[in-house]
Amino acid sequence: MPLSEHEQRMLEQMERALYAEDPKFATALEGSGLHTYTRRRVYQAVAGFLVGIALLMAGMVAKQVWLSVVGFLVMLGCAVLAVTGWRKAPKPGEQPAAGAPHARRQERQKRSMMDRIEQRWQKRRDEQGGH
């Protein structure tokens, strides 16, 4: 059950008060959520990348092209996972907002809608100016 706006504001106020009162304790609590998950994901991706390198090298030594290709694909996939995990990780002291991904998606949709409107407007101006 999602929190209401009032409950979210109250939770944010309590979090800020906790950071102001005892930053060391708040930082210790911070590691238990999304930050730990993304850090673990990045570490797993790095380990997978190293496995991919090993597969690539083993394929080259054994002259098995398919093994080298598999190693390269593992490396590529793990690199993508590491980069996306690193970008999603919250900064130290920053709490992820509850509706942040949804808000970003809405902003992107609004922006793309505005881009389409501007393109249509520009196209109409160009067509009228050309005739």
Helices (H), the chain: 5-21, 23-30, 34-61, 65-88, 100-130
Q: Quote the pLDDT of residue 34.
A: 56
Q: Quote the pLDDT of residue 92.
A: 54
| pLDDT string in tens for the chain (131-residue length) | 566 777 777 777 887 787 788 777 666 666 555 566 677 888 889 899 999 999 999 999 999 999 999 999 999 999 988 888 766 655 555 555 444 455 555 555 566 777 888 888 888 888 887 55
Structure tokens at 49: 């990348």
**Model-level pTM?**
0.45
